[in-house]
Structure 1
Amino acid sequence: METSYQGGVAQEGGSDNFQRLSSTIASNIKKISQNVSSMSKMVNQLQTPQDSQELRNQLRQIQNYTQKLVKDTSSLLMELMRLPAEHPAARLTRDRLSDEYMATLNAFQTTQRSAAQKSKEDVKKVKAQSFNIGDAFATGGGNTDQQLVEMSDTNLRKQEQITRQTERELLELEEREQDIRQLESDIKDVNQIFKELGQIIHEQGAVVDSIESCVEYASQNVESATQELRQAATYKNKLRKKKVYIAIILAIIICIILIIVFRH
């Protein structure tokens, strides 16, 4: 079955690293979403007439590919979150991608849990059937050696067929239990990814708040400085006017003195 997983690790270096990372992450999120949709349809077919070993193999394959893609995308997103996003457009892109990825990751984990739950139910049924088959082979108290010898070849062949079928079921049971253990391990990995991304997003939020606080503080300082400059300009204008008034008064006084002197 063709899956949507392709290696999603971007190359480092270059001034357009942010753009390449964001583009790769967006593409990977789309692939993961498509795979989750396919997985959900397969999980819904489990325990129905459409259920088959081929279906379970396809589900396991696409789940494994998606798990790898999730890990790659998580690494890329963490790298993107650590890059400086000075422009508002870059911050919006980073926040949008993180929100979309977290939602997609949540849908993937929900599908994983549903698949694990149905697999556990199937294992319980197989174990119960195997136990009942074992009881059917138990030798009853009324059976004698003579009766066992007189069993027909047909019954012996039936017993052999049932035994082989039981062995196949036990092998399938072991494989399913191994798949369940792997699926539970993958679910734990996704939980860890949630925690790591949540921590980084929280740290980025604190950094953004700090930057916004600094910008607000700087804006307040600029406004305060502007107000002080206006006050200084007002004081300067008033002082200049005072000097003009004093000069005019002095000139008038000098003129009066000169007039008095010339008259005498």
Structure 2
Amino acid sequence: QADTEAFRDKIHVTQQNANATIKMTSASLHDLAGLIGPADKQLRLQSDRLRNEFQEVVKRYSNLQKEVATRQRYSMCKPATAPRTRTSGWGGLEAQREEEEAALIPGLESPQSPVQQQQHLVADLDYENALLAERERRMRQIETDMLDCNQIFKDLATLVHEQGETINSIEGNIESTQINTSQAVDQLRSAAQYQKKYRKKACCLLTLAVIGIAALALVIYFSAR
């Protein structure tokens, strides 16, 4: 694939979409963990497996993103030379006509006036400044596209810690409710209804997480080709 402006824009859009998918999947995993109760061991195991797979996908994507950024920086650091003769801009058409006449008549030179030389110099400087501005803009875009994977990993680690604290808190509440038998029965019934109500929502979030990871894996696969 040639390193063209269209190809760079395509890479930028692909990375933006992948970053959004990763953030959405991470948020879905957080929501899923908050809905899983201590008795939902099977659902918790599936959530842990998805979280581990998601971490591996993010690591692979991060490595691929660094490789792409390195290649883009290397490509943009190559010196670009401005064309000597232009067919547009200050004095461009006249210079082209003079060169064509010189090619038809042997020995005829096409000297440039000081004004034309100054115009060509200004045009060349404008061209170089435009290249420099575009290069700086692309460099900033590369830095912006880089996903903060460390923050994603911290969020997932916090998710595991919070899930453990939630389980301990629920177990403590169950022990305290056993003091009053009737109150415990009422709370258990309410907990069962709550669990049944949100089990469907947890399954939906689980499905969204699977779809997000699969979509991200496809993005990495096609980007690496």
Query: How many Å separate the matches in 1 of 2:72 and 2:52?
Result: 31
In the alignment, structure 1 residue 177 sits paired with structure 2 residue 129: no
User: Are the aligned partners of 1:109 and 1:187 in contact in 2 as well (CA < 8 Å)?
Assistant: yes
| Matched position secondary structure for 2:3 | coil
Query: How many Å separate the matches in 1 of 2:75 and 2:164?
Result: 45
In the alignment, structure 1 residue 102 sits paired with structure 2 residue 64: no
Paired position in structure 1 for 2:78: 125
Paired position in structure 2 for 1:71: 23
User: Are the aligned partners of 2:33 and 2:159 in contact in 1 as well (CA < 8 Å)?
Assistant: yes
Cα distance per residue 1:143-170 (max 9 Å; x no partner): xxxxxxxx61575565354334313211
The one of 40, 45, 67 aligned to 1:114 = 67
Paired position in structure 2 for 1:248: none
Paired position in structure 1 for 2:88: none
CA drift of 1:180 comes to 2.7
The one of 55, 76, 99 aligned to 2:7 = 55
* Aligned residues with identical type, % of pairs: 26
User: Are the aligned partners of 2:30 and 2:159 in contact in 1 as well (CA < 8 Å)?
Assistant: yes
Higher relative contact order, chain-length normalized (CA < 8 Å, sep 6+): 2
Amino acid in structure 1 at the alignment position of 2:152: I
Structure 1 unmatched ranges of 5 or more: 1-44, 131-150, 212-264
CA drift of 1:53 comes to 0.8
Query: How many Å separate the matches in 2 of 1:208 and 1:105?
Result: 27
| Matched position secondary structure for 1:125 | coil
* TM-score in terms of structure 2 length: 0.51
The one of 67, 73, 80 aligned to 2:32 = 80
Cα distance per residue 1:170-207 (max 9 Å; x no partner): 12112112213313xx433x210111102323554688
Structure 2 unmatched ranges of 5 or more: 82-110, 171-225
| Matched position secondary structure for 1:187 | coil
Cα distance per residue 1:208-238 (max 9 Å; x no partner): 89x9xxxxxxxxxxxxxxxxxxxxxxxxxxx
Alignment length, in residue pairs?
141
Cα distance per residue 1:84-129 (max 9 Å; x no partner): 2423321232122112211111122112211222233334435xx5
Query: How many Å separate the matches in 2 of 1:88 and 1:192?
Result: 28
User: Are the aligned partners of 2:26 and 2:152 in contact in 1 as well (CA < 8 Å)?
Assistant: yes
The one of 170, 183, 191 aligned to 2:150 = 191
Query: How many Å separate the matches in 2 of 1:119 and 1:61?
Result: 15
